[in-house]
Amino acid sequence: MGFLKILFSNSRPIRKIGQFHASHITFFVFSSARLLSFPRFESTNILKQQSTKLAEIDDDCFLQVMDFPGGKVPITTQMKFIAESSEKRLPCYRVLDDDGYPIPGAIFEEASKELAVKMYSSMVTLQTMDTIFYEAQRQGRLSFYLTTAGEEAINIASAAALTLDDFVLPQYREVGVILWRGYPLQQVANQLFGNKFDFGKGRQMPCHHGSNELNYLTVSSPIATQIPQAAGIAYSLKMDGKEACAVTYFGDGSTSEGDFHAALNFAAVLDAPVVFICRNNGWAISTPINQQFRSDGIASKGQSYGIRSIRVDGNDALATYSAIRAAREMAIKEQKPILVEAMTYRVAHHSTSDDSTKYRPVEEIEHWKTAKSPISRFRKYLQINGWWSDENESELRGEIRKQVLQAIQAAEKVEKPSLTDLFTDVYDKMPSNLQEQVKFVKDAVKRSPKEYPSDVPI
Amino acid sequence: MAGIIGRTMATAKLSNLNKFLVGSRVSASRTYSSAAKEMTVRDALNSALDEEMSADPKVFVMGEEVGEYQGAYKITKGLLDKYGPERVLDTPITEAGFTGIGVGAAYYGLKPIIEFMTFNFSMQAIDHIINSAAKSNYMSAGQISVPIVFRGPNGAAAGVGAQHSQCYAAWYGACPGLKVLAPYSSEDARGLLKAAIRDPDPVVFLENELLYGESFPVSAEALDSSFSLPIGKAKAKREGKDVTITAFSKMVGYALKAAEILDKEGISAEVINLRSIRPLDRPAINASVRKTNRLVTVEEGFPQHGVGAEICASVVEESFEYLDAPVERITGADVPMPYAANLERLAVPQIEDIVRAAK
């Protein structure tokens, strides 16, 4: 038996400026004297967790424990590198099988007939709307569109599991969430056409929806920026003591951004009540996930940040609904972040600027579109319960189709935002230089009215 | 050879440390003995933060070393003790992370003050400053306001090399949606920081490390907790009639000294402390040039697309007939900041440069 060196930590709270001698410093610059100076902080949980973990260790290799900044660690004399991936991948939580039957023994949150039918109708609305708007872009009536094809269950089921107080920070493939919250179809069309009824006053590209009233942050194009912002909003909710959480969506590709890492790390450190929902749909435009990361998906990353996580079948509306309900409850009650990885497949092209048949086989797309469709799976579940019939189906689809077409026709005819709206909202109050410019432009229009476009009001 | 380098480096480091110690000692003694008369910029900023945090519970400070360490440059000294860890947050080393989080908090209604250890590090978070903060009010059509302040030391310090010495006034000043301020004196620091914190728009607040320890007289009015200075207004620090010299931050001090030298030679220089880079006080600058007919702009930053270039364009566009001579721009050298003390001195404007240009 060799001579064992056990390092003792300095357990006095140190308040000397410029020096870190406190024990249990985590591996950030974040000073952990806070953990020990009692009047300010209560999170000695880490200390308690470490000591209980030790009691459970009974592996032969672990002879003793050592103290290091961050806590006690068991030591081993066997030099073992942890494998880059575990033998078994993280299991995926699922409730309904491909034919819509609840799998025996499945644990899930029951949805009433009313809720289930509403969820299904919304999924159909989302799909119909997407198809028609996509076609409208192809016809040249819209400049751009991206669909949620294949991810309708993630959109609607997760939205159904939240309350209106929960603040949503979307990426761009979550229009179903704002629809569920009450954003009218007409408003979707208004935003796409950038007319004067658009909440965004025609300032954004299509699909960049947002609504203060519905607690849905305006979509922002740079990838993953919404993730640390979600931690910030969660922190605000925490400081307000609200019984609500921040919920943010992002794709598999977003997890490569630095913002993802910083946000998860920080949210865990801040104990922020945020639910991180990753839509792992297998593709980031043309980059498949095996070129995006080498980890076991995204759920496996949660533990690295100290975040509780789950992998769920994103094409199973009931499983997604149950998982998000549980995640939300934990985030709020325990005031900590939760990570949910929803597995799915991006059935459509990335957007109208993409042709995915160029980089993936058409058979693969077809397979996921038909055999694995989340909408047909949930419909089967409804039909098994006797809550839905073929008549309901054709009636609904016909009705929605009509509504969407009407919305497009109406939105197309509405005036665009006025010229003055070019200059407002840059700041809270319009500064003098912009006021001058408004006046200048209006004078110029008065002098040469023929050169001014007829469809832009002043 | 190595020995000589070692010695120069040691003395450089020592002199920085010395400066810091002298600064804090001086400020300590100053604030003790002459309470209302003089104040260092450091204390001015600290008192402004303290008062605004006390007045509005939504205001909070976030950044590296702002809490336990009392601030990398001691600007946030005492705030952690007074307001607790929920309002003074020490962050992990992730500018992108804490800037994003700060912007998120601002979206929801808190008023964060994000400290960058220097604005050089803000480049790691610049997407959040521009795309998430500056543009949000516009892109959301007024639905999302971002009442956030980004503050920290900007520009060259002493002997810190290229990656710690860049001036960001021109970069941030170009961006619609942001307000950019650059205080010089303690009164500027107090008044402008208070205005920035109260402002509903995102504000970039460019301080200067070498000014932190400098003491300035402050009026009784400036010491009042409701004091604030208007954003977008420059101040004529010295009246004159022969030439206008515009400057901001540390260069205001240099310009004033240059003006004294010029005065002895019979040239009366008007020195304008810009205070606000965006919005730029074009009326004040133009009015001054129309009076003196000559303009010298001074800044520490790089020459191309700098603040001086914008001022020059503004004056040429609006007061062309009044100019008796071409505008002279004094700027930092068009090179990344060298480290060696002699080279650094050559790369940054000196008082002689301003005097020479004015003549």
The tens-digit pLDDT sequence of chain A (458 residues) is 433 333 333 334 333 333 333 333 333 333 344 444 333 444 444 455 554 455 445 555 556 899 999 999 999 899 999 999 999 999 999 999 999 999 999 999 999 999 999 999 999 999 999 999 999 999 999 999 999 999 999 999 999 999 999 999 999 999 999 999 999 999 999 999 999 999 989 888 999 999 999 999 999 989 999 999 999 999 999 999 999 999 999 999 999 999 999 999 999 999 999 999 999 999 999 999 999 999 999 999 999 999 999 999 999 999 999 999 999 999 999 999 999 999 999 999 999 999 999 999 999 999 999 999 999 999 999 999 999 999 999 999 999 999 999 999 999 999 989 888 889 999 999 998 899 999 998 998 889 888 888 777 88
Distance, in Å, from the CA atom of B279 to the CA atom of B181, rounded to the nearest integer, reads 9
B164 as an active site residue: the answer is yes
**Amino acid letter for position A240:** D
Instruction: Note whether B91 contacts A428, CB cutoff 8 Å.
Output: no
Instruction: Note whether A263 contacts B106, CB cutoff 8 Å.
Output: no
Residue A360: partners with Cβ closer than 8 Å, 6 or more residues away: A283, A288
Residue B60: partners with Cβ closer than 8 Å, 6 or more residues away: B53, B83, B86, B87, B88, B89, B105, B110, B111, B112, B113
Task: Tell which B residues from 212 to 241 touch A, by Cβ distance under 8 Å.
Answer: 232
Q: What is the pLDDT of residue A61?
A: 55
Beta-strand relationship, B88-90 and B59-63: parallel
Residue B130: partners with Cβ closer than 8 Å, 6 or more residues away: B175, B177, B178
Cα dist from B295 to B77, B291, B319, whole Å: 40, 11, 11
Which of B21, B68, B74, B90 has the most A C-beta neighbours within 10 Å, making it the best mutation to test the interface with A? B68
Instruction: Note whether B92 contacts A227, CB cutoff 8 Å.
Output: no
Distance, in Å, from the CA atom of B138 to the CA atom of B127, rounded to the nearest integer, reads 16
**Which of B127, B142, B282 has the CB atom closest to A222's CB atom?**
B127
**Residue A435 C-alpha from the chain's centroid:** 39
Q: Hey, is the C-beta of B286 within 8 angstroms of any chain A C-beta?
A: no
**Which of B101, B138, B142 has the CB atom closest to A235's CB atom?**
B101
Tell which residue, B272, B263, B273, B270, has the closest CA to residue B240.
B270
Domain-embedded: residue A395: yes
User: Virtual CA dihedral for B307, B310, B314, B316, nearest 10 degrees?
Assistant: 110
Which of A19, A21, A25, A30 has the most B C-beta neighbours within 10 Å, making it the best mutation to test the interface with B? A30
Q: How far is A202 from chain B (nearest CA, A)?
A: 9
Do A358 and A407 fall into the same domain?
yes
Task: Tell which B residues from 53 to 92 touch A, by Cβ distance under 8 Å.
Answer: 64-65, 67-70, 84-86, 89-92
Cis check: omega of the bond before B279, within 30 degrees of 0? yes
User: To which CATH superfamily is domain B37-223 assigned?
Assistant: Thiamin diphosphate (ThDP)-binding fold, Pyr/PP domains (3.40.50.970)
Q: What is the pLDDT of residue A26?
A: 33
Instruction: Kindly list the domain boundaries of chain B, sorted by start residue.
Output: 37-223, 235-358
**Over the range B225-241, which residues count as b (16 or more CB within 10 Å of their CB) and which as e?**
eebbbebbebbebbebe
CATH architecture of B235-358: 3-Layer(aba) Sandwich (3.40)
Tell which residue, B84, B94, B147, has the closest CA to residue B117.
B94
Q: Which residue of B has its CA nearest to A214?
A: B143
How many CB atoms are located within 10 Å of the residue A435 CB? Answer: 12
Which of A216, A229, A254 has the most B C-beta neighbours within 10 Å, making it the best mutation to test the interface with B? A229
Q: What is the pLDDT of residue A60?
A: 54
Statement: the pTM of the whole predicted model exceeds 0.90: no
Tell me the two tokens of residue A407: 């919305």
For chain B, the 3-state helix, strand and coil shares in percent, each to the nearest 5, are: 50, 15, 35
Distance, in Å, from the CA atom of B222 to the CA atom of B36, rounded to the nearest integer, reads 10
Instruction: Note whether B141 contacts A428, CB cutoff 8 Å.
Output: no
Distance, in Å, from the CA atom of A326 to the CA atom of A320, rounded to the nearest integer, reads 10
Residue A89: partners with Cβ closer than 8 Å, 6 or more residues away: A296, A297
CB B300 within 8 A of CB B350: no
Q: What is the pLDDT of residue A128?
A: 97
Task: Tell which B residues from 143 to 172 touch A, by Cβ distance under 8 Å.
Answer: 143-145
Helix (H, G, I), strand (E, B) or coil at B62: strand
Q: Hey, is the C-beta of B35 within 8 angstroms of any chain A C-beta?
A: no
Q: Is A362 exposed, middle or buried (0-12, 13-18, 19+ CB in 10 A)?
A: exposed
Owning domain of residue A446: 419-451
Cα dist from A257 to A251, A341, A399, B64, B313, whole Å: 11, 16, 41, 21, 39
Helix (H, G, I), strand (E, B) or coil at A108: coil
Domain-embedded: residue A50: no
Instruction: Note whether A235 contacts B199, CB cutoff 8 Å.
Output: no
Q: Which residue of B has its CA nearest to A197?
A: B141
Instruction: Note whether A30 contacts B199, CB cutoff 8 Å.
Output: no
Q: How far is B288 from chain A (nearest CA, A)?
A: 19
Cα dist from A302 to A202, A257, A337, B135, whole Å: 38, 15, 10, 32
Q: Which residue of B has its CA nearest to A40?
A: B84
Q: Is B197 exposed, middle or buried (0-12, 13-18, 19+ CB in 10 A)?
A: buried
Q: What is the pLDDT of residue A48?
A: 52
Distance, in Å, from the CA atom of B243 to the CA atom of B9, rounded to the nearest integer, reads 40
Which of B58, B76, B101, B282 has the most A C-beta neighbours within 10 Å, making it the best mutation to test the interface with A? B101
Cα dist from B201 to A145, A249, B191, B272, whole Å: 31, 27, 17, 25
Residue A419: partners with Cβ closer than 8 Å, 6 or more residues away: A438, A441, A442, A445, A456, A457, A458
CATH of the domain at A179: 3.40.50.970
Instruction: Note whether A239 contacts B110, CB cutoff 8 Å.
Output: yes
* Number of domains composing chain A: 2
Give the H/E segment covering residue A105: none
Do A424 and A305 fall into the same domain?
no
Annotated catalytic residue: which of B52, B64, B164, B299?
B164
Q: What is the pLDDT of residue A4?
A: 35
Question: B58: which DSSP letter?
Answer: T
The phi and psi torsions of A328 (rounded to 5 degrees) equal -60, -45
Q: How far is A254 from chain B (nearest CA, A)?
A: 14
Strands (DSSP E) found in chain B:
38-40, 59-63, 88-90, 111-115, 149-153, 179-181, 203-207, 215-217, 235-238, 243-247, 269-273, 276-278, 295-298, 328-330
Cα separation of the two ends of chain B: 42
Do A339 and A425 fall into the same domain?
no
Low-confidence stretches of chain B (pLDDT beneath 50):
1-35
Catalytic sites of A, residue numbers: 135, 221, 350-351
Q: What is the pLDDT of residue A43?
A: 44
Do A403 and A433 fall into the same domain?
no
**Which of A167, A208, A266 has the CB atom closest to B98's CB atom?**
A266
**How would you list the strands of the sheet with B179-181, edge to edge?**
B88-90, B59-63, B111-115, B149-153, B203-207, B179-181, B276-278
Where do we find the tokens 């304008």? B272
Q: What is the pLDDT of residue B11?
A: 40
Tell which residue, A67, A2, A91, A137, has the closest CA to residue A311.
A91
Chain B residues closer than 8 Å to A236 by CB: 104-105, 108-110
Residue B266: partners with Cβ closer than 8 Å, 6 or more residues away: none
Please name the residue ranges forming H helices in A357-389: 362-370, 374-384
Q: Is B68 exposed, middle or buried (0-12, 13-18, 19+ CB in 10 A)?
A: buried
Beta-strand relationship, B269-273 and B243-247: parallel
How many CB atoms are located within 10 Å of the residue A306 CB? Answer: 16
Q: What is the pLDDT of residue B359?
A: 85
Beta-strand relationship, B215-217 and B203-207: unpaired
Task: Tell which B residues from 292 to 351 touch A, by Cβ distance under 8 Å.
Answer: none
Domain-embedded: residue A86: no
Question: How open is the CA angle B219-B220-B222, to the nearest 5 degrees?
Answer: 65
